[in-house]
Amino acid sequence: MAAGLRAVRRWGLAAAAPPRLAFTRSASVVKKANNEQPNWLGVGMAFGTSAALWGFLIKEHNEDEMEYERRKRERRHKYEGCS
Amino acid sequence: MVFLPDESRSLPPPPLLNKGTVWFGFSGWLAALLDNAFNQRPVLRAGVHRQILFATLGCFVGYQLVKRAEYMHAKVDRELLEYIRHHPVDFHGGEG
C-alpha cells in the first residue's frame, strides 16, 4: 500500500504542470449560494405552490366522492327500474 | 393511454390519508432533508418551505398513483369475475 501511495504522489507531482492558457467560452455563470438571507421569492413561490396543490387535491377528492355517490345512485335507479 | 379513464370515477375514491400519500409524502420530505444535508445546511430547521413543498408533491403524486392502482385492480377483478360467470363448468365450487 505504501508503494501505491508513493506512485500516486509521483503521478501527482508529474501532472502538476501549470495549466495551458487556452481560453474556453462558457455561457454559464455560477454564484455561490447565499443561505444567510431568506430567498423570499423562492419561499413565497414554494408556499404558494404547496397551498395550490393542497387545494387542488382536496377539491379533486371531494369531486371524486360526489361523482361516485352520483353514479351509485344512478346505478340503483337503473336496476330498480325508476328511469 | 389515459392515466385515469372516466370509469375509474365509478370507484370510491381512496381516502386522502392512504399508504401512497403517506409513503410518497414522507419520501418527498426525506428528499428535502437530504438536500439540506448535501448543501451543508441544518437538516431539520432549514428550508421548511422546501420540506413542505416536496412533501406536498409527494402526497399529490401518491394519491394519483393509488387511484390508478385501485382502478387497475378493480378492472382485473371485474374481468376475472366475468370469466368465472361465463365459465361456470370450470368453477363448480357450488355443486361440490
- Tell me: the pLDDT tens digits for A35-73? 888 899 999 999 999 999 999 999 999 999 999 999 999
Q: Which of A9, A2, A52, A50 is nearest to B54 (CA)?
A: A50
For residue B55, which of A41, A27, A47 has the smallest C-alpha distance? A47
Complex ipTM, two decimals?
0.86
* The three cell numbers locating residue A51: 397551498
Domain boundaries, chain A: 4-81
On chain B, the residues whose CB falls within 8 A of the CB of A57 are 16, 59-60, 63
A35/B53 Cβ within 8 A? no
CA distance B9 to B68: 11
Are B47 and B35 in contact, with CB atoms under 8 Å apart?
Answer: yes
A57/B11 Cβ within 8 A: no
| Best residue in B17, B21, B39, B49 for a mutation probing chain A (most A CBs within 10 Å) | B49
**pLDDT tens digits for range B46-83:** 999 999 999 999 999 999 999 999 999 999 999 999 99
The one-character DSSP state at A6 is H
Chain A residues with CB under 8 Å of B41 CB are 35
Could you give the CA distance from residue A51 to residue A62 in angstroms, rounded to a whole number? Answer: 17
Report domain extents, chain B: 17-86
